[in-house]
Amino acid sequence: MPWIRRTVTPERRRKFALFAAFLVPIGLLHAFVLAEICIGIVDVLFLIETIRTGAWRGFAKPWFIVAMIWWLWLLICSLPLPALGLHGAGWYMSFAFALVIIRFLMFALALQIWLLTTAKLRNYLWIVIALSCVWIGLETWQQYLTGHNIFGDRRWGDGALTGPFWKPRAGDLYGHLLFVALVPVADWLLARQSRVAGAAAFGLIIIGAVTAVLIGQRMGTAYALLGGLAAAACLPRLRLPVLAAGIAAGLVLLATPIISPPTHAKLIGETTVNMSDFSHSPYGELFARAATMGFASPITGYGYNAFRVDCENPKFDAGVPRFHIPPSSVAENACNLHPHNYYLQAFEEAGFLGLILFSLMNALFLLPLLRSFFKTRNTYVVALFTGVLTYAWPIASTDAFPTLYEPGWFFLLLGLGLAFV
């Protein structure tokens, strides 16, 4: 209808998509349904605009091409067609779930080439993300000091502080976002060459690192460390503050038997037990099981969600002796909803080709950010590089990929970072 065409103009569609994109961090914090709806809105409006203008050249980004090839291969591997050697873990649990992964890829591309086309918009979205990190940090301290967060939730049963959440989500997410939030502010303060500004920069980074330790989740602390090292490697001004923060965090860790015994039990006690015999720890069992599944079907894997559906099959008990992968046992927690590592997940779901494509995809996420920084010296690019790196880093215990729970933040950071390129 003509009146609809006059009312729903391209500019209004873009503004509505921007509004939806800025709601995504809020949804990822406290309302996953809202985040899903907003990502869907952005994707649909982006496709409408692309079809209207015929501007398909933006889809030729190297990262997007490789990501689409990885996605299509995962779809093929997820087809439930045993006669063709494809083991898809059930139509709905495998192929259908793999099919909608494209929403994340499209969302990141839409942010990069359509929505975040001005420095002002990019800075505004960074502010929303930075405030999300501040919110997690403030609620962590409230829970630590008062015993509960703003919603009345207390520490988790294993001693971890939950921040603004009811369960232990704060640690990993805070570790991913910490230097995304800190780098531009700290570098700006240090550039003032003022004692007060310099002290503020040191204080922010030290408080951020100490908070990561107090939360009491191992990977969150490791992500914060990795982000700090990456930021310091790129920005010489940050090296001394990051070193000071590392020392302060180490001293707090040593003091946890007194100031936070649950944190000590989680970060020191449990980690020591797991690493003393990693192959028989819960994580070792999970990793061995996923590797065994991958080697059992090295060409096509077992399809998306295969670990959730097929893990308990006894044929995966024996390990892979020729590669020194030990046996695993369902009774020893070898099975879970996912294998807790993105790269092992890529391998057991789509074989060696899936692993290669997934690895290349992550490399192409990171390389443009690094090239852009060395060309422009933009501190926002460094900040977002630290966030993308902490997700793409292969030596980690992770959530499933890609889901909203945490990887939703990954694609948000990725799209914003690539928009600076």
Q: For residue 348, tell me if it sits in a domain.
A: yes
Q: Which residues pair with 320 in a beta bridge?
A: 325
The DSSP code sequence of 104-153 is HHHHHHHIIIII--SHHHHHHHHHHHHHHHHHHHHHHHHHHHHSS-TTS-
Cβ of 224: how many Cβ atoms within 10 Å? Answer: 31
The per-residue pLDDT for 284 is 87
Contact status, residue 331 vs residue 355, Cβ threshold 8 Å: no
What are the two backbone dihedrals, phi and then psi, of residue 320, each rounded to the nearest 5 degrees? -130, 85
Radius of gyration for the alpha carbons in the chain, expressed in angstroms and rounded: 22
Q: For residue 379, tell me if it sits in a domain.
A: yes
Q: Which residues of the chain have pLDDT under 50?
A: 1, 3-4, 83
The per-residue pLDDT for 87 is 62
Q: For residue 259, tell me if it sits in a domain.
A: yes
The per-residue pLDDT for 3 is 44
Q: How far is CA 360 from CA 29, 297, 419, in A?
A: 29, 21, 20
Measure the CA–CA gap between 245 and 248, rounded to whole angstroms.
Answer: 5
Q: For residue 243, tell me if it sits in a domain.
A: yes
Contact status, residue 263 vs residue 256, Cβ threshold 8 Å: yes
Q: How far is CA 269 from CA 140, 181, 236, in A?
A: 21, 30, 35
With the CA atoms of 123, 127, 129 and 130 taken in that order, what torsion angle do they form, in degrees rounded to the nearest 10?
Answer: 120
Q: Domain range holding 168?
A: 118-276+339-419
Q: For residue 265, tell me if it sits in a domain.
A: yes
Q: For residue 266, tell me if it sits in a domain.
A: yes
**How many structural domains does the chain have?**
1
Note the pTM of the prediction, 2 decimals.
0.94
Measure the CA–CA gap between 245 and 247, rounded to whole angstroms.
Answer: 5
Q: For residue 4, tell me if it sits in a domain.
A: no
Burial class (CB in 10 A: 0-12, 13-18, 19+), 7: exposed
Which of 57, 73, 67 lies closest to 107, judged by CA?
67
Q: How far is CA 417 from CA 35, 199, 213, 306, in A?
A: 19, 28, 27, 31
Q: For residue 192, tell me if it sits in a domain.
A: yes
Measure the CA–CA gap between 390 and 418, rounded to whole angstroms.
Answer: 16
The per-residue pLDDT for 6 is 53
Measure the CA–CA gap between 19 and 45, rounded to whole angstroms.
Answer: 12
34-72 residue pLDDT tens: 999 999 999 999 999 999 999 899 899 999 999 999 999
- Tokens 């591997």 belong to 77
The DSSP code sequence of 194-227 is -HHHHHHHHHHHHHHHHHHHHHT-HHHHHHHHHH
